A and B are shown apart, each in its own frame.
Chain A
Amino acid sequence: MNLIAEALAWLADPTHWSGAAGIPVRVGQHMSMTVAAVLLAAVVAVPAGVAVGHTRRGAGAVASATGAARAIPSLGLLTLFGLWLGIGLEASLLTLVVLAVPSLLAGVYSGFMAVDPAIPQAARAVGFSAAQVVWRVETPLALPVMLGGLRAATLQVVATATLAAYTADFGLGRYLFAGLKTRDYAQMLGGSLVVIALALLLEVALATCQRLSYRIADPAGARRTSPSPT
């Protein structure tokens, strides 16, 4: 309990809230890293997930590949990328992208596959093009599950973005590494609390988005039902 009190005191100290190493700057760095990693991962994962989900082919292969990718240890990957790309933010960004892709991809394709196949078939029958089926039929219906994938990916990335500080003066991980090495556990715990708060905040925001998306998926129906059983 004493340590928690010290951590709270560390957080309350106004000197930790200003300057280039202050908490607001670090939070901004951490958030920008998180957003950039998730966006880059989405660039890879969304088209791939849509292709798999829409055609309903290759789901088994993608599922096993993403499952295996989830088992990659991020710190090891960071060292590997660091030896390839050098220190700085590129290696940690790439690591976080690799971390985020499986969750996003799984969310997209399983969302698409959860749509009752009769619905896209009916849309095609009334003259929708393939793009229209994807964009106007399947995407709205798959949205809640896709946002679930985004939630999972974001949560993982915001927690793991602390690794950016392994090879760069960047993000909230600085408090963790500096605290660990100098046995300044108040700083370490204080930094962790900020990461936790950030993760909870993002989680609540994305959960709200996900709830709203049910209205898009099923405008007429009950508010909190899953879009469609398989």
Chain B
Amino acid sequence: MTPRPMNLLIPLAASALLLAGCAAGDPLADGSASGSASGSASAAPAGPIVVGSQDYYSNEIIAEIYAQALEAEGYEVDRQFRIGQREAYLPEIEAGAIDLFPEYTGPLLQFWQPETAARLSDDVFAELEGAVPEGLRVLAQSEATDQDSYVVTRGFADEWELVTVADLEKVTTPLTLGANSEAETRPNGPLGLAEKYGIEVGFTPIEDSGGPLTVKALQDGDIQLAIIYTADPTIAQNDLVSLEDNEGLFLASHVVPLASDDVDESAEAIIDAVSAAMGADDLIALNDRSVTEQLPAADIAEAWLAEEGLA
């Protein structure tokens, strides 16, 4: 073994070089390098707070808001945005490579506890607080949600005075749900509606995930109900109405910051203020600016923080 260390060192050095080379663009490089070097993931508290985001435009805007709010109070921030899906970035957060990440309560809980029965906002958040691994914590959840919801047109909602999903029982004409075909067999489709609300609906597959064809079908009256994300600007642009889901047909998915222990109390207070200020409509408006005005996340975040008086 003794004459061999060079053989080991060469690939190690090579990979270290590679990692260093990628560091600017690859958010995972930092974590792997420090993890193997020191063996302990705890960075110096004085170092920058590493803020990450999913590869999803709305999530990036929220991450940018966190970053700018922290910077405004004198924190140093390292942005590692557009990392990918939960499977890719959560191990990095757990390893301590990322300190702050905008997450969504329901899907995050299901990542750690796939069997959970919690659906409603408060239940999900309570369970989530217990499910978070050591060294991490979730800060207060925001009012803003990004979750599946049943939507109807404004005209249809007014005609039958619809506010919640349960109100659909007042509708005496036949109802048809239009959604991706998987909804037909999943619990958030006609089966769940019948089970949780006792409402029978027909089903038409429209395979564009709540996109323009679904909106067109709603407006034409070919379908009365569709499944669209609550934070999707489509809802406001086409004057659609999301029905409130009081029975937990859809998994509650509030925006929630996932933070490591490197986020100290005063940083937490800054992020909490952001979460408190961000209402459901704010998130929709932020997404809308990204979709319709094609503005970069940094500009949208800056304008919103100024508007809210947070930076």
Contact = CB atoms under 8 A, between A and B. Distances in A.
Do chains A and B stick together as partners? yes
Interface of A: 79, 82-83, 86-88, 165-169, 174, 177-178, 181-182
Q: DSSP class of A's interface residues: helix, strand, loop or mixed? A: helix
B217 A182 contact: no
Contacts of B93: none
Given A86-B217, A182-B185, 19 more contacts: A82-B216, A83-B212, A86-B222, A87-B178, A87-B204, A87-B213, A167-B204, A167-B205, A167-B206, A167-B207, A167-B213, A167-B217, A168-B205, A169-B204, A177-B180, A177-B181, A178-B181, A178-B185, A181-B180
B185 A177 contact: no
B180 A86 contact: no
23 contacts: A79-B208, A79-B212, A79-B213, A82-B216, A83-B216, A86-B216, A87-B204, A87-B222, A166-B205, A166-B206, A167-B205, A167-B206, A167-B213, A168-B204, A169-B203, A174-B181, A177-B181, A177-B205, A178-B182, A181-B180, A182-B181, A182-B182, A182-B185
B271 interface: no
Contacts of B207: 165-167, 177, 181
Contacts, number: 59
A93 to B, nearest CB: 15
B223 interface: yes
Interface of B: 178, 180-182, 184-186, 203-208, 212-213, 216-217, 220, 222-223
A181 B182 contact: yes
A145 B75 CA distance: 76
Contacts of B182: 178, 181-182
Contacts of B185: 178, 182
A116 to B, nearest CB: 50
Tell me which of A86, A167, A174, A178 has the highest count of chain B C-beta atoms within 10 A of its own C-beta.
A167
A87 B181 contact: no
B283 to A, nearest CB: 26
A87 B217 contact: yes
Nearest to A75: B207
A82 B181 CA distance: 17
B213 A83 contact: yes
B84 to A, nearest CB: 20
Contacts of B212: 79, 83
A82 B217 CA distance: 9
Contacts of B186: 182
Q: DSSP class of B's interface residues: helix, strand, loop or mixed? A: mixed
A86 B220 contact: yes
A178 B184 CA distance: 9
A167 B216 CA distance: 11
B216 A169 contact: no
A64 B212 CA distance: 32
A59 to B, nearest CB: 38
A209 B182 CA distance: 41
A169 B217 CA distance: 14
A86 B186 CA distance: 25
Nearest to A87: B217
A82 B205 CA distance: 13
A169 B178 CA distance: 10
B227 to A, nearest CB: 13
B184 to A, nearest CB: 7
A102 to B, nearest CB: 25
A186 to B, nearest CB: 14
Of all A-B residue pairs in the complex, the 8 with the closest CB atoms, nearest first, are: A181-B182, A87-B217, A86-B220, A178-B181, A177-B181, A82-B213, A182-B182, A166-B207
Nearest to B212: A83
A115 to B, nearest CB: 46
A36 B106 CA distance: 47
A143 to B, nearest CB: 40
Contact of B205 (A83, A86, A174, A182): A174
Contacts of B178: 87
A149 B222 CA distance: 36
A169 B222 contact: no
Contact of A87 (B180, B184, B203, B223): B223
Nearest to B213: A82
A79 to B, nearest CB: 6
A87 B208 CA distance: 11
A174 B207 CA distance: 10
Contacts of B181: 165, 174, 177-178, 181-182
